Structure 1
Amino acid sequence: MKARTPACQLLQRFHPSSGANAPAVAVAPPVDDWLADQVEGVASADHSILQAYRQRGISAFSPMDDGDMTLPSGWVLFWPKTHQLGIWWLTWLCEQLPPGTPLEIVGEHNGGIKRVPKVLEALGLRCDKLDNARRCSLFATQTQALPTASTAAWQAFNLRGMQLHSHPGVFGHGKLDEGTALLLDTLERALQENKLPGTLRRCLDIGCGDGIISTWLAQRSQDVTAVDINAFAVEACRRTLAANQLTARVLASDVYSALGDEQFDLIVSNPPFHQERDIHYGAAGQLIREAPAHLARGGQLILVANAFLPYADHLEATFGSFEVLADNRRFKVYRAGVR
């Protein structure tokens, strides 16, 4: 079987067959059938990737959970596009694994892998270049104790009267996204004008990120559910809610996957449209397409999106009609509902 993704193609070139020197555990990997045939374990913060490998019978765990760090030595880290997240993964691996554990690092040139030698040098880790091809590079190092703990990556800050917690890899890390700001302003105005369903009884925040929207909802509702595909976001949202002395149910979920047939009066989202460096509408399309099944009678879907994205077509096809609640030329806030 041939590897499909460029980074895995480079690994296949360097490790043409499984052996004593081949990595046994993949960290933050893409979904690739060749890789699934090679490794015994996967660590990832992406809920959908964990599920994909578990379905293949592979041990897969989130770094936010108690994972199986007793898997065979030989680990490979797929360098993420978020530079600070890559540093976090290195720091976390050095904490979790015995000193001297072999670790390979692979990634695409346009994803930041070329910066890895300087990162390793700054951390005091050795660096050996093993190979490069398919516009990717492969490096080798070994784990060792580091002076900085991985927990130092967490960031706390205050916005709009709320204390927020965030982590590298969480959407809008450390700041308020312009689209989210417009969405919150629009929700506040709609609430004051009595244009939201009911009294905000059952609310769902899809793609909760650091939890700023979930916190706004929880300040006004006793029944809030927040979901995100990213384990760092799930933990960040929980920390944010706790810091504001609020409660909500926070779940790891690929859009509605963890919710069964539950219904809500209000679904709110600033949906992602990037998958690594590519524009990808899959999650947002599913969010809109399946929303009617998760909206109670009279319920509303309110989402914000970059103005150039074709979400109006999705809303029209799913709901038959919709309205634009706000438009600042860069972002639009849409509303659609079921009767």
Structure 2
Amino acid sequence: MAGSADTLFMPITNGEIPLGEGQWLYLGARAIDGGFPDELRAALVCEQSMRGAYLDLQMRGMNVSPRVDNTDRFSGALILIGKHRGENETMIARASNMVSAGAPILIAGDKTSGVAPLRKRIAAFAEIDGSLAKYHATVFWLRNSVDFASHFSSAKTSPQGYQTSAGMFSAEKIDKGSALLAEHLDENIRGDIADFGAGWGYLSAELLNRFSPRTVHLYEAHCASLEAAKENLSDYDKGQISYYWHDLTREAVGKKFDWIIMNPPFHEGRKTEPQLGVQFIEVAARSLKPKGGLLMVANVTLPYEKTLQQNFSKVNQLARRDGFKLLKAQL
């Protein structure tokens, strides 16, 4: 089904903007409906930090990395924005620094991404060359002629003592669900531990700061968050910590743990998607040693108890606060 990624490429595919020579930077990259024409496939250098979307592009033979840091200037940039204003502005500023002066920059997003107010903000300091709307999304384009970073003012603070950046889950403060889970970590959570959906490492940091697990394994689908976790846990790392850029909903874990801790995601974009948590629970059950345990936190409205009871012999609610519930399950 066509979407905002297809809209992003329309000015090129309909001939309004020539592809020309050289390579194009594609940030927030996602596949398009029907796949990329050969000419586009050869020209694009894609960046995608989310493991699932990265794998989709890789399977289509695209040149894709979780982070592009080329020193050579690109001939143009295509930016597919998401729901985080700060992350969108960072992508645009980076693209401006990575493409040639006067080169085209195309920016697109669906109606829920904030593309309309973003265009308005940019139009206040730069000339917009054109725009079009299709597939419930809008693309606009301009020439690389201004210092975008100096015009964007999205302020971001990180939780004290941690490194985070815009676009990461709970980048500016510890979320209440994770805080609830952290309070209930104790010396019984020991042995080989996995942190599913580890983000930038808060729960693992709490575990390592207070206890001495034999090993800790962080699984996270957002590469930038995982890189931040490495920095945030560096003081604790004595060789017992492992990091996996991993999509738990589609890649096998291949290890067994004594305990798994997790605050699973429950949004796909802006849409609530409880099935993500269900998949995390099912993977957790398959990834535990006999008599292993799961400690997870979830929004009180999410109906995970049935899945837990289907996969574990014992399920208990340990706490309930601030709209979250803490659940413990054992095989």
TM bin (shorter chain): 0.7 to 0.9
- Determine the structure 1 residue equivalent to 2:230: 238
Tell me, in whole angstroms, the C-alpha distance in 1 between the residues paired with 2:6 and 2:248.
30
Please give the residue correspondences for 1:109-258 in structure 2 after superposition, counting only pairs within 5 Å.
109-121=111-123, 124-144=125-145, 146=147, 148=149, 155-158=157-160, 163-187=161-185, 191=186, 196-197=188-189, 200-219=190-209, 220=211, 221-242=213-234, 245-247=235-237, 248-255=241-248
Tell me, in whole angstroms, the C-alpha distance in 2 between the residues paired with 1:71 and 1:19.
22
- Determine the structure 1 residue equivalent to 2:56: 52
CA contact (8 A) 1:306 1:330 kept: yes
The alpha-carbon deviation at position 170 of structure 1 amounts to 0.6
* 2:6 is the alignment partner of 1:5: no
CA contact (8 A) 1:304 1:334 kept: yes
Please give the residue correspondences for 1:27-106 in structure 2 after superposition, counting only pairs within 5 Å.
27-37=27-37, 38-39=40-41, 40-63=44-67, 66-67=68-69, 73-106=75-108
Per-residue CA deviations over 1:296-330 (Å, capped at 9, x if unaligned) read: 12211111000111111211222254111111261
- Determine the structure 2 residue equivalent to 1:327: 320
The alpha-carbon deviation at position 283 of structure 1 amounts to 3.1
Per-residue CA deviations over 1:130-189 (Å, capped at 9, x if unaligned) read: 212343221112335738599x9874432xxxx1111111101110111111111122xx
Corresponding residue SS for 1:49: helix
The alpha-carbon deviation at position 8 of structure 1 amounts to 3.5
Tell me, in whole angstroms, the C-alpha distance in 2 between the residues paired with 1:155 and 1:328.
25
- Determine the structure 2 residue equivalent to 1:300: 293
Corresponding residue SS for 1:166: coil
User: What is the identity percentage for the equivalent residue pairs of Structure 1 and Structure 2?
Assistant: 21
Distance 1:256 1:56, change over 3 A: same
Tell me, in whole angstroms, the C-alpha distance in 2 between the residues paired with 1:67 and 1:35.
25
Distance 1:252 1:14, change over 3 A: same
Distance 1:19 1:112, change over 3 A: closer
Tell me, in whole angstroms, the C-alpha distance in 2 between the residues paired with 1:265 and 1:19.
58
Q: How high is the TM-score relative to the length of structure 2?
A: 0.84
Distance 1:25 1:91, change over 3 A: closer
Considering only aligned residues, what root-mean-square deviation do their CA atoms show, in Å?
2.9
Tell me, in whole angstroms, the C-alpha distance in 1 between the residues paired with 2:51 and 2:71.
19
Aligned length: 317
Distance 1:171 1:201, change over 3 A: same
What is the letter of the counterpart of residue 34 of structure 1?
A: G
What is the letter of the counterpart of residue 142 of structure 2?
A: T
Per-residue CA deviations over 1:177-220 (Å, capped at 9, x if unaligned) read: 11111111122xxx1xx5x35xx121111111221101012222
Moved more, 124-133 or 97-106: 124-133
**Structure 1 unaligned regions, length at least 5:** none
